Amino acid sequence: MSAPAYLDHNATSPLRPVAFDAMVEALRAGGNPSSVHDAGRKARAIVDKARREVASLVGALPTETIFTSGGTEANNLALSGAGRRRVLVSAIEHDSVRRGVPHAEILPVDSDGVLDLAALDATLAASSEPVLVSVMLANNETGVLQPIAEVVRLARAVGALVHCDAVQGAGKVPVDLQGLGVDYLSLSAHKLGGPTGVGALVVRNGAPFSPDRLGGGQESNRRAGTENVAGIAGFGAAAQAARVGLDVTGMRDQLELSLVQIAPGATVFGAKAPRIGNTTCISMPGVPAETQVMALDLAGVCISAGAACSSGKVQRSPVLTAMGVAAEEATWATRISLGWNTEPADIERLITAWQNLYIRVRQSDISHTHSRARAA
Ligand code: PLP
């Protein structure tokens, strides 16, 4: 059988060849970026180059960019590093934000999955102490884009700081730190074709920040620990490649049209809101997400059951719950996400496998109904 059609880029996008090459080169070079000798200087040059590449993807300065072990650490670091006790987060944030601040106040979203700005405004107005607001750029399950510029405008009016988890947005839509106006921005390499286990927190010059780990003076005293040089090199190369953006919206829209034609009762969640062009969160009526993921896997297509969580267990999606999707319908939702190497043939394969499964399930439903009728 040919290689699977990989349509789970929001989980991890395959490593881009340029990132692979940069990593191999860095591994060959070896060295510790803190060493003053030749090998150390070479490692430092690799990290510095990658820092420029990552910073430039999001319109930040290299000095504003701190490498981390991924998006999770970047989110945790922003939430603790900002030093604000009162924190407001949207109801659809990634676990690394929601669980990163268990005492955070939750801001609702509407039925399209867009942050309720009136609720943010009212909550900010009711606050007597300095606040940090954390709202993601694009949701990992639905792809729905959040109104960050409006969040910043409301937050600034009351002196609140703003963190934006841009892990799913960067490389898919243009991201500009200055334009967005946020104080902290989280990134993850493996969502844009870099390696897993590396990310960055961008801290706007002048924004308050205190590190969360003690040790050496790496990352300008903001994140102790010898840098993951090869991972950082891969991140830089992937970020550079991702600057051209991702042009898959046409394929995604065609895919949604085809699936809804096959199963007219299917719902595309968040379809009415602005979304990143690579993500579809769609239900196959009556078919549990786990069944869909397994059947498609057997047909050589990789997708995920909503927010496939780290344990591999499928739990009820807090994102769809926050959007008011009925509990049963939420269990039918899967996430299909396209990326830099997606070809029309991958989409065709998914459509065929999805249709075959849907027909199979319908036929077995019909034969069950008939045998029940005969038995009655
Ligand atoms: N934020 C969002 C929106 C994500 O989708 C993810 C990963 O799924 C993360 C943060 C965590 O990133 P990482 O896997 O690099 O820790």
The pTM assigned to this predicted structure is: 0.95
How is 301-367 classified by DSSP, letter by letter? EE-BSSS--TTS-----HHHHHTT--HHHHTTEEEEE--TT--HHHHHHHHHHHHHHHHHHHHHHHH
- How confident is the model at residue 363, as a pLDDT? 86
pLDDT lower than 50: segments of the chain = 307-311
CB of residue 114 inside a 6 A radius of ligand 1: no
Reported in sequence order, the residue ranges of 28-77 that DSSP labels E, i.e. its strands, are: 65-68
CB of residue 89 inside a 6 A radius of ligand 1: no
Q: Hey, how many other C-beta atoms are within 10 angstroms of the C-beta on 78?
A: 30
- List Cα–Cα distances, 247 to 252, 301, 323, in angstroms: 10, 21, 27
Contact, 137 vs 120, CB < 8 A? no
Residue 75 alpha carbon, nearest atom of ligand 1:
10
Say whether 17 sits in a helix, a strand or coil: helix
Q: Which amino acid is at 158?
A: V
Adjacent-strand bridge partners of 184? 163, 203
User: Which sequence spans correspond to the domains of the chain?
Assistant: 5-12+246-375, 17-242
- List Cα–Cα distances, 307 to 108, 140, 227, in angstroms: 19, 7, 30
CB of residue 69 inside a 6 A radius of ligand 1: no
Ligand 1 mutation pick, 9, 168, 275, 335, max ligand atoms within 8 A of CB: 168
Closest residue by Cα to atom 12, ligand 1, is 71
> Annotated catalytic, 302?
no
Centre of ligand 1 from the C-alpha of residue 145, in Å: 16
Helix or strand holding residue 6 (H, E): strand 5-6
Centre of ligand 1 from the C-alpha of residue 8, in Å: 13
Centre of ligand 1 from the C-alpha of residue 198, in Å: 11
- How confident is the model at residue 310, as a pLDDT? 42
Q: Could you give the CA distance from residue 74 to residue 89 in angstroms, rounded to a whole number?
A: 15
Q: Which CATH architecture has domain 17-242?
A: 3-Layer(aba) Sandwich (3.40)
- How confident is the model at residue 128, as a pLDDT? 84
Structure tokens given for 236: 């830089």
Centre of ligand 1 from the C-alpha of residue 72, in Å: 6
Residue 93 alpha carbon, nearest atom of ligand 1:
3
- What lies within 8 Å, CB to CB, of 238 at 6+ separation is 15, 16, 18, 19, 171, 189, 192, 193, 194, 195
Contact, 320 vs 141, CB < 8 A? yes
- What lies within 8 Å, CB to CB, of 371 at 6+ separation is none
**CATH numeric code, 5-12+246-375:** 3.90.1150.10
Closest residue by Cα to atom 10, ligand 1, is 71
- How confident is the model at residue 316, as a pLDDT? 79
- Of 164, 281, 302, 309, which residue is the catalytic one? 309
- How confident is the model at residue 127, as a pLDDT? 80
CB of residue 280 inside a 6 A radius of ligand 1: no
CB of residue 195 inside a 6 A radius of ligand 1: no
Ligand 1 mutation pick, 140, 281, 309, max ligand atoms within 8 A of CB: 140
Angle between helices 17-29 and 229-242 (to 10 degrees): 150
Q: Which amino acid is at 259?
A: L
CB of residue 79 inside a 6 A radius of ligand 1: no
Residue 96 alpha carbon, nearest atom of ligand 1:
10
Angle between helices 148-157 and 117-125 (to 10 degrees): 20
Structure tokens given for 251: 């394929």
DSSP state at residue 146: P
CA atoms within a 13 Å half-sphere pointing along the CA-CB vector of 292: 28
Q: Could you give the CA distance from residue 317 to residue 254 in angstroms, rounded to a whole number?
A: 25
DSSP state at residue 189: G
Centre of ligand 1 from the C-alpha of residue 95, in Å: 8
Q: Could you give the CA distance from residue 178 to residue 175 in angstroms, rounded to a whole number?
A: 9
- The pLDDT tens digits of the residues spanning 255-310 come to 999 999 999 999 999 999 999 999 999 999 999 999 999 999 999 999 999 644 44
Structure tokens given for 375: 């038995």
